[in-house]
Amino acid sequence: MIDLHFAPTPNGWKISIMLEECGLPYTVVPVNITRGDQFKPEFRKLNPNRRIPVIVDRDPPGGGEPLTIFESGAILLYLAEKTGRFSPRDLRGRYCVQQWLIWQMSALGPMLGQNGHFSLYAPDRIPYAVERYGNEARRLYGVLNDRLGENAYVAGDDYSIADIACFPWVMTHKAQGFQLDDFPHIKRWFTELRMRPLLQKGLAVGRRAVRKTLDGEARSNLFGTRPASGDTPAGALQSLQPDH
């Protein structure tokens, strides 16, 4: 059994989708990031970075003590290795999947997060930030669109953890100010993936918990104005847009 410490954000949904797609039994442990659950001592023991998601696998390969893993990319790699699914076994295919997974982790997710923050949530509109992150988000959509014009899926001919990582972030396209009609290859891919029943089941996890308005406490916990442990700033930019 796997414990999934979870909040309904794109990074959280990556893992609930993967668990459903792999058919692994899991229990959801809700983490209310708007009320600061991620800063509690018991969560900090699981993830010193104080972010969701985290898994605790109580039956890891080879047995032994439960295994705790944080960072959504690392969790996807672990679950792919544990199940032998959604990552190729051959060297070239495996590293193709991994490079696109890292691209999502280092580029697509962070830039869309910043674009969403400065466009939708920042208390003051900063034109430079809006333009900079908007332009970079559009560029990355273009990269993904070009890639999907050459391949059925993000990392090649087969559905993989690279697709699972990218999909929940592309779900935010309307809130981000993008129309998929402008990116026809992403639209084709997005429409196809939305039809996967297990992906939909993974997306259903926690949907009722999505907050559509943010009060002062939520903003403090999410956007880094709250100290994590007395004197350490702790940004928790996990945007709560309707499609997250």
Chain centroid offset of residue 201 CA = 16
Write down the domain spans for the chain: 2-85+202-222, 91-195
Task: Dump pLDDT digits (tens) for 174-206.
Answer: 999 999 999 999 999 999 999 999 999 999 998
Distance CA 13, CA 19 (A): 10
Burial class, 85, CB count within 10 angstroms (exposed 0-12 / middle 13-18 / buried 19+): middle
Q: Strands 2-6 and 26-30, how do they pair?
A: parallel
Percentage of the chain exceeding pLDDT 70: 88
pLDDT at residue 238, rounded to an integer? 42
Q: What is the pTM of this model?
A: 0.89
Superfamily of domain 2-85+202-222: Glutaredoxin (3.40.30.10)
Integer Cα distance of 95 and 24 in angstroms: 24
Helical segments of 104-215, H only: 109-116, 127-150, 161-170, 173-176, 184-194, 197-204
91-195 under CATH 3.50.50.60, yes or no: no
200-235 residue pLDDT tens: 999 999 886 655 566 777 667 777 655 544 333 333
* In the predicted structure, residue 153 carries a pLDDT above the cut 80: yes
Q: For residues 7 and 32, is the Cβ–Cβ distance under 8 A? A: yes
Q: What is the pLDDT of residues 17-34, one digit of tens each?
A: 999 999 999 999 999 998
